[in-house]
Amino acid sequence: MGSVSPDAVSQYLKQTRELFGDELFLDQTPTSTKTEPKKMNPDLPSNIDGFYKQIHNCTRCALGDSRTEFVFGVGDPKASLVLVGEAPGEQEDLKGEPFVGRAGKLLDKILTAIDRSRQKDVYICNVLKCRPPKNRDPLPDEVAECEPYLIHQINLIQPKLIVALGRVAGKTLLNVDKPLKSMRGILHDYHGTPLIVTYHPAALLRNPNWKPETWKDFKWIRSIIDE
Ligand code: URA
Residue 156: inside a domain: yes
DSSP 8-state secondary structure symbol assigned to residue 135: G
CATH code for the domain in which residue 97 is found: 3.40.470.10
Cβ of 92 less than 6 Å from ligand 1: yes
The answer to whether the beta carbons of residues 13 and 23 sit under 8 Å apart is no
Name, in order, each residue with C-beta under 8 angstroms of 50's C-beta and a sequence gap of 6 or more.
Answer: none
Residue 65: inside a domain: yes
Residue 3: inside a domain: no
Cβ of 89 less than 6 Å from ligand 1: yes
Residue 15: inside a domain: no
Helix (H) or strand (E) holding 140: helix 140-157
Domain residues for 68?
A: 41-225
State the distance from the centre of ligand 1 to the C-alpha of 5, rounded, in angstroms.
31
Number of alpha carbons in the 13 Å side-chain half-sphere of residue 14: 11
Residue 52: inside a domain: yes
Domain count, the chain: 1
Residue 98: inside a domain: yes
Residue 120: inside a domain: yes
Cα 145 from chain centre: 17
Residue 160: inside a domain: yes
The tens place of each residue's pLDDT in the chain, 227 residues long, gives: 345 565 665 554 454 344 433 333 333 334 444 434 445 566 788 999 999 999 999 999 999 999 999 999 999 999 999 999 999 999 999 999 999 999 999 999 999 999 999 999 999 999 999 999 999 999 999 999 999 999 999 999 999 999 999 999 999 999 999 999 999 999 999 999 999 999 999 999 999 999 999 999 999 999 999 99
